[in-house]
A and B are shown apart, each in its own frame.
Chain A
Amino acid sequence: MEYIIHISILISIYAILGLSLNLVVGFTGLLSVTQAAFYGIGAYVTAILLTSTGMNFFLALIIGMAITGVCSLAIGFVLSKFKDDYYALGSFGFNVIIYSIFLNWQSLTRGPLGIPGIPRPSLFGFTFSENVWFLALSIVLLILVYFICRFITGSSFGRVLKSIREDEGAISAFGYRTLWYKLAIFVISAMMASIAGSLFASYITFIDPSSFVLSESIFILAIIILGGLANNKGAVIGAACLILLPEILRFVGFPDDIAAQMRQVVYGVILVALMLYRPQGLIGEYRL
């Protein structure tokens, strides 16, 4: 049972990451692979505030979102100078930069040693120390993020995002300043990833830079490509599939260490197979 709860918490966290990245990649057509950086900023801000000031988790979560928002605004602005493949490469670069900051700003992040002893959230005297309660919290936040995504993508604003994805030049000729739209969604998306980071830090109670490497961003991208670009449910389904798959491998008898490595191989294979046979993903509404 503990095991199922653990997997479900991971799925919730990755579903939030998938939902957030889908806003940028699936709906707006900006191929960003820097989501793990924002996930990491959220996690680090939360970890540092909780361990050094004993601040309330929920306040730390909000401060994390604000700091991530500011960072993503700057990064999104620089990235707005790029198009298509260069955009992807530029975002790749930012993930590497943020990762090296986690690794090298040792006075703040303790670098490779990581930050241990991050407390679990508490609210009005109740502490989410039992995993089942932490799962409940994760699911509540997931639902919140899901409905915000649904609201955004179903709104007139969401329709403009899709038109930017389809033909940015044409939609600007009809009177839209597309830069503001791209920045807005990039920042919203980063702030959602920051929520996932706060949850992760407080759940595992330990973080180090290795959780926020570039391949993590690519994993998040794989989630939405599998589940389906520009489809909110797809992001959740994709997260469930990609988290469960290595577990299933383990279940059918692969040794633990091989199953862990298989995760990388499996999602690589899935990505290639999808691009070949089903570029819109399981229930996607858009092809890259």
Chain B
Amino acid sequence: MWKNREQMPILETKHITKHFDGVYAVNKLSINFEAGKITGIIGPNGSGKSTLINTLTGMIPIDSGEMIVAGAERLQRVKAHEVASYGMTRTFQDVRLFEQMPVIDNILVVLTERSIWKALFEKHGALHLEKAEEVLKKVGLWDKRDELAKNLSYGQRKLLEIARVLAMIHCGVGDINIIFLDEPFAGLFPEMIKIVTGVMKELRDQGKAVILIEHNMDLIRELSDHIYVLDSGELLAEGKPGDVLARKDVIEAYLGE
């Protein structure tokens, strides 16, 4: 079957499986993510959403299955430090910041050179600072730039993770076009939610594939072009949010928890 390059998924997973001591957290999952779209992943707690992202981004080793990046690169095993070069970046559900570092350094560290030598003899300090200012202003944390990350409020911490993702897009590693957001709205105040939805729409309009794990169905409806529903590590349903969220089995999976 001949596919137009525009319609080709930017990331496909084939039979991805990951188990923890007999529990199949992700079981033979084959799903696609498309560029310029926001793809929602929903499912009850423990259904394997975070585990899926963790395997795709090399944070935990995969048992079996493979992923195909941009229709070309087939990967069985991906190491954490390589995922950026395949164009992927992410946030963490359990916010992982560089706690005892200033906010600005949390951003600068992902902007600067990856090679040791170039990092020692940094040539683009001013440029990186400019980019850091831009992304921190976007999430409203520029005023907090000299605070240690650990002193931020919970919502600010989540926003800093979003800013770090934006910084990754500016860094020289890979062409970041696949962005995983693991429950980015959890615990945010309404005005912060507005910032994050704004960023997500912007990323989508820039042609990035944005993958959103979220429990708030209003946000899922508002943002997603396509959703996947996971249950016990397996795919329960997929499709347009309006259709899928009306399905009986989907509602039951959620009510059942």
The reply to whether B58 and A173 contact each other, CB–CB distance below 8 Å, is yes
4 other A-B residue contacts (CB within 8 Å) besides A159-B108, A172-B79? A159-B101, A174-B171, A175-B82, A178-B81
Name the one of B85, B118, B125, B164 contacting A175, with C-beta atoms under 8 angstroms. B85
Name the one of A160, A171, A173 contacting B119, with C-beta atoms under 8 angstroms. A160
Task: List B residues 98-116 near A (Cβ within 8 Å).
Answer: 98-101, 105-106, 108-110, 112-114, 116
> Which residue of B90, B100, B121, B174 has the most chain A CB atoms within 10 A of its CB atom?
B100
> Does A169 sit within 8 A of B, measured CB to CB?
yes
The reply to whether A175 and B114 contact each other, CB–CB distance below 8 Å, is yes
Distance between Cα atoms of A42 and B36 in the complex (Å): 58
**Residue on B nearest A170 in the bound complex, by CB:** B96
Distance between Cα atoms of A285 and B100 in the complex (Å): 8
Distance between Cα atoms of A163 and B89 in the complex (Å): 17
Interface size on A, as a range, is 20 to 34
16 contacts across the A-B interface (CB closer than 8 A): A155-B121, A156-B108, A157-B119, A159-B109, A162-B105, A163-B106, A166-B100, A167-B97, A167-B98, A167-B99, A173-B59, A174-B89, A174-B168, A174-B171, A175-B85, A175-B173
Q: Which residues of B contact A172 (CB under 8 A)?
A: 79-81
Q: How far is the CB of A280 from chain B (nearest CB, A)?
A: 9
**Residue on A nearest B174 in the bound complex, by CB:** A175
Given contacts A172-B81, A173-B90, A176-B81, contact A157 B101 (CB under 8 A): no
Q: Which residues of B contact A58 (CB under 8 A)?
A: none
Q: How far is the CB of B211 from chain A (nearest CB, A)?
A: 15
Q: Which residues of A contact B81 (CB under 8 A)?
A: 172-173, 175-178
> Does B84 sit within 8 A of A, measured CB to CB?
yes
A residues near B (Cβ < 8 Å) are 152, 155-157, 159-160, 162-163, 165-167, 169-178, 180-181, 184, 285-287
**Residue on B nearest A174 in the bound complex, by CB:** B110
Counted as pairs of residues, one from A and one from B, with CB atoms less than 8 Å apart, the total is 96
B residues near A (Cβ < 8 Å) are 57-59, 79-85, 89-90, 92, 96-101, 105-106, 108-110, 112-114, 116, 118-122, 125, 128, 164, 168, 171, 173-174
Distance between Cα atoms of A225 and B42 in the complex (Å): 47
Distance between Cα atoms of A169 and B59 in the complex (Å): 7
Q: Which residues of A contact B119 (CB under 8 A)?
A: 155-157, 160
The reply to whether A173 and B83 contact each other, CB–CB distance below 8 Å, is yes
Q: Which residues of A contact B83 (CB under 8 A)?
A: 173, 175
**Residue on B nearest A168 in the bound complex, by CB:** B80
Question: Closest 5 A-B residue pairs measured CB to CB?
Answer: A175-B84, A166-B98, A156-B112, A157-B119, A156-B119
Q: Which residues of A contact B89 (CB under 8 A)?
A: 173-174
The reply to whether A155 and B120 contact each other, CB–CB distance below 8 Å, is yes
Q: Which residues of A contact B113 (CB under 8 A)?
A: 156
The reply to whether B100 and A287 contact each other, CB–CB distance below 8 Å, is yes
The reply to whether A169 and B80 contact each other, CB–CB distance below 8 Å, is yes
Q: How far is the CB of A113 from chain B (nearest CB, A)?
A: 42
Given contacts A170-B92, A184-B116, contact A286 B100 (CB under 8 A): yes
Q: How far is the CB of A168 from chain B (nearest CB, A)?
A: 9
The reply to whether A176 and B120 contact each other, CB–CB distance below 8 Å, is no
Q: How far is the CB of A254 from chain B (nearest CB, A)?
A: 39
Given contacts A155-B121, A160-B109, A175-B85, contact A181 B116 (CB under 8 A): yes
Given contacts A157-B119, A157-B120, A178-B81, contact A171 B109 (CB under 8 A): yes
Q: How far is the CB of A29 from chain B (nearest CB, A)?
A: 9
Q: Which residues of A contact B118 (CB under 8 A)?
A: 156
Q: Which residues of A contact B97 (CB under 8 A)?
A: 166-167, 170
Q: How far is the CB of A141 from chain B (nearest CB, A)?
A: 21
Distance between Cα atoms of A176 and B113 in the complex (Å): 9
Q: Which residues of A contact B80 (CB under 8 A)?
A: 169, 172-173
